[in-house]
Chain A
C-alpha cells in the first residue's frame, strides 16, 4: 500500500462526490459504496441530482451529487456534513460549501477551475478564498490533464478520455480510505465486456488517481474505518425503490398469486416500475400505462381478475389516481398504491424529498373513503413494508397506500437478506366454490372482510362497481343501506389495528421529551435522539410506520412524557393528524420543506430549546 505517515481510525466518515450531471458522480459514489459494503462497513447513501438530465454545464443548477456515509458502527443516515468533498468544477464547490465539515478535505479538479467556469458558478476569482475554505485540507489536483497524460497513447478520442475523470477521482478517494480496487476493476470488466479497451482505460484512470494520491501525500491523514459489527447473515446493498419492488414480488410468492404492476413513469418512483419490468423471470406482469389513471385502473382490473395488483407513483400521480382509489374502496378489491413522495405541490421539486403527501394519502378522495396507509422508514425496510402493504391489501380486501419518499427511494444501505421461508404466508379470502349464489358484500364476522370470487370460477359470477350496493351486490340508493355500508367499510379498515404491532419506544419509556417521527425521517431522528441521550437528556423516540390505522398503544406511550415534538418534512400534517386522533396531548413541531432531509444538528437544537423550556 506504500507509505502512509498517519492512519487515523474513524468511527464514521461522510464523502460527497459532486460534479456536472454528466461527470459520472453517481457511478463513482455507487462504486465506492459497494466497495465499502463488501469490506463490511455499515453505510447509507443519498444521490442528489437535478431534475434536468443535463442542465447547462458548469452551473450550480446542473450539479449532481452522491453522498455516502460509511461507519464502523450502525449508520442510519447519509450524514449531514461531508468529511470529504470531491468537486469536479467550481459549481460543485458553490453547491456544497456549506455542507463540508469544518476543516474537512476538498479534492477538486484544478483544470476545470478556469476563469469562465469560476464566473459561471457565481464566484469572482477564487472559490476557495471566497468560501473561506483556506484552512480546510484543499487538494487541487489536475485531474483532466492527468487522465489525458495517462491515456495519451491509448487511442481513445478526447471525449472518452475525459469521461474517465470520475475514476481518477475515485482512485484518489480509495487511497484516502485505504480501499482495494478489485471490486471496481471487476465492475469495468463486466460493464465493458464487449469493449475491453474502455475497461482498460477506466482501470488506468482509477490506478492513476490512486497512485497520484499516494505520491502527493497531501492527502494525509488516511482514514481507516473498521468493519461494522453487524448481525450474522448474508448482506447486500439495496436502495428503497428496489427493496419496494422486491417486497411486492415476495408477497406475490407468499400469496401464490401473479404480480401485476400498472404504472406510468414518474420521478422518483420509476425505479420501482423498472425493477418490476425486469423481473419477468419471476413472472411479473408489468404494464407501462398511457397515464397515471390507466396505471391504477389496469391494476384494479387485474385485481378483479385475481392478481396481486400494484401501481407505483409520486405525489402528482397519486392525485390523478384518487377517483380509482375510491372505486377500489367501493368494490373492496385489494390493491397496493405506492407513493414515492417528492416536494410539491404540483410538479414542485421532482428530485427532492418531502413528506407532504400524508393528508392526500389519508383523505384525498370524495366520500367517506378510508384506506390503510403505511410508510417505510429506511431504504431496506421498504421491502418489509411493501410486503406488509400487500399482505394487508390481500387479507383485508382493501387498497393500501404505501408512502416512501425520494430520499428512501434513491438511498442505499446494507441489508441482511431475509430467507423466504421466514416470511409469513399470505392468505387472501378466496370465495368457497360452493358460495352460490355468491354475495359480493357478505363479510366475515371478525374482520368484516368480503370474499374474493375470481372470474373463471363457475357459479360465482357476480357484478361489482362504483354504485352503492346491498350485501347481495344489487345497486341500492336506500339511505339506510348506504349509511350501513359506509360504516362497515370504515370499520373494516379500523379492524386492521388488531394485527399491527405496537409502536416501539427507543430509549426510556418515560421522560422529558418524546420525539415523534413517521416514515423516512427515521434515520435522522434516531441519530439525533441517540446523541441527546448520550449527552444525558431524558429524550426518547418513536417512529410511526402504520399511519392508518394507528397502533393501539399510542396513548399509553405518549402520556408518559412531559413534552412531545412531532418532526416531519412538511408543515405539520402528522402533528395535525395526531391532534385529531389524540387531542388530549400538546404537540410541538419541527418542520422543514427545503427538499432536503433534516440535519442532526437542527433536530438537536430544537429538542434542546424545548428541554430548556424556551
Chain B
C-alpha cells in the first residue's frame, strides 16, 4: 500500500499513447480497463506507480500504461519488481505476469516473493496456455490437454495458484474473471491497499490458442451457478437464485441447498478472509467445478510484516546504535597504524 494524496484521475489518465496490440477479443483488454479504473479510484499519484512485467502476451501491459514501466525478461518480473520496491518503498509496484512467466520459468522467484511478503501487487493472467510462443501447454494447463508440444495429451499435473500462495505462507490471494470488470476493479483496489504480496489470479481467455478455456464456469449463462463470489463477513451463498451455499461437513466443504434438509442461512459458512489459519481458505481456493463452484473474490487477506518495511527498520535501528556514520569513519575503524 502506498500513501495516497487527493488526486482526481479518470481511467483514461492511465492510458499511454501506444496502440494496444493484443488480439481482438483477448481477455487482456478487459483486465487493463479494470486496472485503470482501480487506479483512478485509488488516486495514487501517477509518478509513484511502476508496472513491471516479464515476457508473454500479458507482459506488454506496461507499454499501454502512462505510469513508470519496465518490460523485462522471461520469468524475472518478480525480482525486478522486488528490487524496485525494496529500493524505493514509496512506489506502488505492480507486476503483470502470466501462468508461464510466473509459474514455469519464474516459479522460483514467485514463491520467494510471496514468502518474503514484499509489498507487490501481482496480477497473474492465467489462460492455461503459452500464447506468445503460439500454443504450447503451461504449468496450469489441465492434464490431458492437447497442444503443439503435447500432441498426445499432456501427462503433467497442473499448479494451482492459490495453493502455491498458501504453501509459500502467502498473505493475500484473490481470484477473478477477466470479463468481470466490476469484481476485478474491487479486487485490484483491495490488493493495492493490502500491505504485502497480493496475488490476484485472473482467469483470462486466449481467443487464439485456448479459446473458451474458462467458459464452463465463466460464461455469462452459467457463471452464477458455477462460481461463488466470496466477500469477507458474508455467508458463502451462490447460484442464480441465491439458493446454494457452502457448509463444513467434517473436514471437507460441501455444497448444500438452502431450504433442503432444514438448511437455513444460519448453517452456511461465513467467509473470513482475515483468518490467519489458511485451512478453509485453502479448501476454497482448491474448489473445482463440477463438484464445487469456483471461488472468486478475495479468498485470503491477512496482515503481516513486509520485507521492505523490515529492511528499512533494520537499517534505521543499526544506524541509531552505530558510531560509523560515513565512509571516512569506516576507513579509520579498527586496526590502523600511522607511518610518519
Q: Which residues of A contact B251 (CB under 8 A)?
A: none
Also in contact, A236 and B334, with CB within 8 A (given A293-B79, A297-B79, A304-B84) = yes
Is there contact, CB below 8 Å, between B325 and A281? yes
Is there contact, CB below 8 Å, between A285 and B311? yes
- Judge if B180 is at the interface, Cβ distance under 8 Å: no
- Judge if B69 is at the interface, Cβ distance under 8 Å: yes
Residue interface mask B68-103, A partner, CB < 8 A = 1:
111111001001111111111011000000000000
Tell me the residues in window 282-324 of chain A with beta carbons closer than 8 Å to chain B beta carbons. 282-283, 285, 287, 289-291, 293-294, 297-307, 309, 323-324
Is there contact, CB below 8 Å, between B319 and A235? no
Docked CA distance A379–B271 (Å): 61
Docked CA distance A69–B147 (Å): 66
* B32-40, B41-49, B258-266 - the one binding chain A: B41-49
* Residue in B48, B76, B112 with the greatest tally of chain A CB atoms within 10 Å: B76
CB-CB nearest in chain B for A416: B339
- Judge if A465 is at the interface, Cβ distance under 8 Å: yes
Nearest CB of A to B220, in Å: 35
- Judge if B306 is at the interface, Cβ distance under 8 Å: no
* A143-151, A455-463, A492-500 - the one binding chain B: A455-463
- Interface SS of chain B: mixed
Also in contact, A260 and B86, with CB within 8 A (given A232-B339, A280-B318, A324-B73) = yes
Is there contact, CB below 8 Å, between B86 and A323? no
- Judge if B291 is at the interface, Cβ distance under 8 Å: no
- Judge if B314 is at the interface, Cβ distance under 8 Å: yes
Docked CA distance A279–B90 (Å): 23
Q: Which residues of B contact A291 (CB under 8 A)?
A: 108
Q: Which residues of A contact B80 (CB under 8 A)?
A: 297-298, 300-301, 304
**How many A-B contacts at CB < 8 Å in the complex?**
202
Q: Which residues of A contact B16 (CB under 8 A)?
A: 463
- Interface SS of chain A: mixed
Also in contact, A301 and B84, with CB within 8 A (given A253-B327, A290-B109) = yes
Q: Which residues of B contact A298 (CB under 8 A)?
A: 79-80, 82-83, 86
Q: Which residues of B contact A34 (CB under 8 A)?
A: 335
- Judge if A234 is at the interface, Cβ distance under 8 Å: yes
Is there contact, CB below 8 Å, between B71 and A465? yes
Nearest CB of A to B280, in Å: 30
Is there contact, CB below 8 Å, between B47 and A285? no
Is there contact, CB below 8 Å, between A461 and B79? no
Is there contact, CB below 8 Å, between A282 and B324? yes
Docked CA distance A44–B70 (Å): 46
Docked CA distance A303–B52 (Å): 13
- Judge if A7 is at the interface, Cβ distance under 8 Å: no
- Judge if B326 is at the interface, Cβ distance under 8 Å: yes
Docked CA distance A289–B90 (Å): 22
Is there contact, CB below 8 Å, between A282 and B47? no
- Judge if B63 is at the interface, Cβ distance under 8 Å: yes
Tell me the residues in window 9-28 of chain B with beta carbons closer than 8 Å to chain A beta carbons. 16, 18
Is there contact, CB below 8 Å, between B108 and A290? yes
Instruction: Known A-B contacts: A231-B339, A249-B327, A279-B330. Give 6 more (CB < 8 A).
Output: A235-B338, A291-B108, A455-B50, A458-B46, A461-B66, A464-B71
Residue interface mask B314-326, A partner, CB < 8 A = 1:
1100110010111
Q: Choose one: B83, B108, B326; the contact of A282 (CB below 8 Å).
A: B326
Q: Which residues of A contact B48 (CB under 8 A)?
A: 455-456
- Judge if B6 is at the interface, Cβ distance under 8 Å: no
Is there contact, CB below 8 Å, between A283 and B315? yes
Q: Choose one: A324, A418, A475; the contact of B63 (CB below 8 Å).
A: A475
Docked CA distance A466–B85 (Å): 20
* Residue in B62, B69, B324, B331 with the greatest tally of chain A CB atoms within 10 Å: B331
Contact size range, B: 35 or more
Also in contact, A293 and B330, with CB within 8 A (given A280-B319, A285-B87) = no
Also in contact, A327 and B68, with CB within 8 A (given A236-B334, A297-B80) = no
Q: Which residues of B contact A461 (CB under 8 A)?
A: 46-47, 66-69
Nearest CB of A to B92, in Å: 10
* Residue in B76, B327, B328, B336 with the greatest tally of chain A CB atoms within 10 Å: B327
Residue interface mask B96-128, A partner, CB < 8 A = 1:
000000000000110010000000000000000
Interface residues of A, Cβ cutoff 8 Å to B: 34, 37-38, 40, 183, 230-237, 246, 249-250, 253, 258, 260, 262, 279-283, 285, 287, 289-291, 293-294, 297-307, 309, 323-324, 326-327, 331, 416-420, 455-467, 474-475
Q: Choose one: B70, B112, B336; the contact of A236 (CB below 8 Å).
A: B336
Q: Choose one: A38, A236, A474; the contact of B18 (CB below 8 Å).
A: A474
Q: Which residues of B contact A260 (CB under 8 A)?
A: 83, 86-87
Docked CA distance A419–B50 (Å): 39
- Judge if B249 is at the interface, Cβ distance under 8 Å: no
- Judge if B332 is at the interface, Cβ distance under 8 Å: yes
Is there contact, CB below 8 Å, between B339 and A40? yes
Q: Which residues of A contact B152 (CB under 8 A)?
A: none
- Judge if B340 is at the interface, Cβ distance under 8 Å: yes
Is there contact, CB below 8 Å, between A287 and B86? yes
Is there contact, CB below 8 Å, between B90 and A234? no
Docked CA distance A234–B331 (Å): 10
Q: Which residues of B contact A183 (CB under 8 A)?
A: 335
Q: Which residues of B contact A300 (CB under 8 A)?
A: 72, 80, 83
CB-CB nearest in chain A for B65: A463
CB-CB nearest in chain B for A257: B87
Also in contact, A282 and B330, with CB within 8 A (given A237-B335, A298-B80) = yes
19 inter-chain pairs at a CB distance below 8 angstroms, sorted by A residue, are A234-B336, A234-B337, A234-B339, A236-B336, A246-B327, A260-B87, A281-B324, A283-B319, A293-B109, A294-B109, A297-B82, A301-B52, A323-B73, A326-B73, A418-B331, A460-B47, A461-B67, A465-B62, A465-B63
Across chains A and B, which 10 residue pairs bring their CB atoms closest together, nearest first?
A301-B83, A465-B71, A281-B322, A298-B83, A463-B69, A302-B87, A297-B79, A280-B318, A305-B87, A301-B80
Is there contact, CB below 8 Å, between A235 and B339? yes
Q: Choose one: A294, A456, A463, A467; the contact of B88 (CB below 8 Å).
A: A456
Q: Choose one: B82, B311, B327, B338; the contact of A301 (CB below 8 Å).
A: B82
Also in contact, A466 and B71, with CB within 8 A (given A290-B108, A305-B91, A455-B88) = yes
Is there contact, CB below 8 Å, between B315 and A285? yes
Q: Choose one: B72, B334, B335, B339; the contact of A230 (CB below 8 Å).
A: B339
Docked CA distance A457–B72 (Å): 21
Q: Which residues of A contact B83 (CB under 8 A)?
A: 260, 262, 287, 297-305, 309
Q: Which residues of A contact B47 (CB under 8 A)?
A: 455-461
Also in contact, A301 and B87, with CB within 8 A (given A282-B330, A418-B331, A420-B328) = yes
* Residue in B65, B79, B311, B315 with the greatest tally of chain A CB atoms within 10 Å: B79
Docked CA distance A38–B334 (Å): 12
Is there contact, CB below 8 Å, between A250 and B72? no
CB-CB nearest in chain B for A289: B79
Q: Choose one: A281, A417, A460; the contact of B318 (CB below 8 Å).
A: A281
Q: Which residues of B contact A307 (CB under 8 A)?
A: 87-88
CB-CB nearest in chain A for B69: A463
Q: Which residues of A contact B71 (CB under 8 A)?
A: 463-467
Q: Which residues of A contact B109 (CB under 8 A)?
A: 290, 293-294, 297
Residue interface mask B51-70, A partner, CB < 8 A = 1:
01101000000110111111
Q: Which residues of B contact A309 (CB under 8 A)?
A: 83, 87
